[in-house]
Structure 1
């Protein structure tokens, strides 16, 4: 089993932490940039994240509220300063809302006094893929080496190490799976009906630029949905879905492939629709492939982005 320990080093005004994950860069990038995934792993063990707001665009803001096992909240806020997809992003890391006790403790370790703003920092997150594994490099830049050392001595290494363990255990999918999640501002029943209605599913199914044409759809266990997807380049892709399990409003399970038995390209799809408060629904879509190589090939042709675009189109369709 692959195992990677974090590497912790000090540079001029910078704490550098590295960790390699046994997953392609598309998956690691997703769990770092999707707030639904971030909530599963951010913070040391025992901490939860009741609030994760993540406007992932340059100039956008974020706010993550880490809650300790004792119930103390440690809000982290800032803005996205730079984003280079699948390579890096840079955020400001502000401690404006952290508890006074924490601020005093870190100041004491750093041997400084004054306003808490001096503890603010900038975090650069780099992603490097090699042989199907992804190295994540964190470069946290402080105002000076004194503050850098105060943070380094306050459990920074231990906290990030435990976060990385949670990321690997709770957020990254299995080696032959792809997981996509999105929160929709619509009731569970309405979302379920969008998946089950043969007259309207073609209005939103598929990535941006694709057109879906339904031939037949028999929405029941053992039934099939046979359709084509016309790509932006004019390529026509035959598709067949065979429903294996249906729990009204809650769950779908089906086999998805081209319909050509000679291609042996079927994969399993599980969709959980979880009702949230305020008429919201969490869509959790999981695709399971025959092996890791097939999964990785799907990643390279944009499976995650395609799935996210499809769910985005679903949300736009429901808004209408």
Structure 2
């Protein structure tokens, strides 16, 4: 994927196989264990990992504030790639309000490890800057560490 002007990218070599990492992204019970940066939690996750399928993931702050995230899968290549957006809420229904991002996650085997690349494409420079200020690198980095640790146990 060519990097665009409003992209934020996390690129890591993870010590876990691609199929296990993919499972952690597409099985709700697994996703709930790693998706939010601790001490945040993920109490709810509903995933229909197919093009046009909906996702609904709720993160909860340590103070109990819920942050719901709804979206739709655009592309699913088993064990290799997931593309999703918050522009739709499933079955190509536009969401209310302004969309924020499109995410492409790729899983490329490198020996017994996986090159994991998360490309987060924003609609505007302001959205990209907002995501950077929210702590994109730190938060997504911590979640990636949690993802890797869980995948290694499968």
Query: TM-score when scaled to structure 1?
Result: 0.43
For residues 44 and 93 of structure 1, the distance between their equivalents in structure 2, rounded to whole angstroms, comes to 20
Conservation of the 8 A alpha-carbon contact between 1:118 and 1:143: no
- SS of alignment partner, residue 57 of structure 1: coil
The structural deviation recorded for 1:118 is 3.2
Conservation of the 8 A alpha-carbon contact between 1:124 and 1:140: yes
What's 2:120 paired with?
140
- SS of alignment partner, residue 173 of structure 1: helix
For residues 41 and 17 of structure 1, the distance between their equivalents in structure 2, rounded to whole angstroms, comes to 16
Conservation of the 8 A alpha-carbon contact between 2:44 and 2:57: yes
> Does residue 1 of structure 2 align to residue 21 of structure 1?
no
What runs of 5+ residues in structure 1 fail to find an aligned partner?
1-9, 97-115, 180-320
Larger Rg: 1
The structural deviation recorded for 1:173 is 3.2
Task: Tell me which of the two structures has the higher relative contact order, counting C-alpha pairs closer than 8 angstroms and 6 or more residues apart.
Answer: 2
The structural deviation recorded for 1:67 is 0.4
Query: TM-score when scaled to structure 2?
Result: 0.86
Number of residues of Structure 1 aligned to a counterpart in Structure 2: 146
Corresponding residue to 1:158 among 128, 138, 142? 138
- SS of alignment partner, residue 33 of structure 2: helix
What's 1:172 paired with?
151
> Does residue 110 of structure 2 align to residue 130 of structure 1?
yes
- SS of alignment partner, residue 168 of structure 1: helix
What runs of 5+ residues in structure 2 fail to find an aligned partner?
90-95
The structural deviation recorded for 1:11 is 4.4
CA RMSD of aligned residues (A): 2.1
The structural deviation recorded for 1:140 is 1.0
The structural deviation recorded for 1:168 is 2.6
> Does residue 87 of structure 2 align to residue 87 of structure 1?
no
What's 1:73 paired with?
66
For residues 147 and 167 of structure 1, the distance between their equivalents in structure 2, rounded to whole angstroms, comes to 25
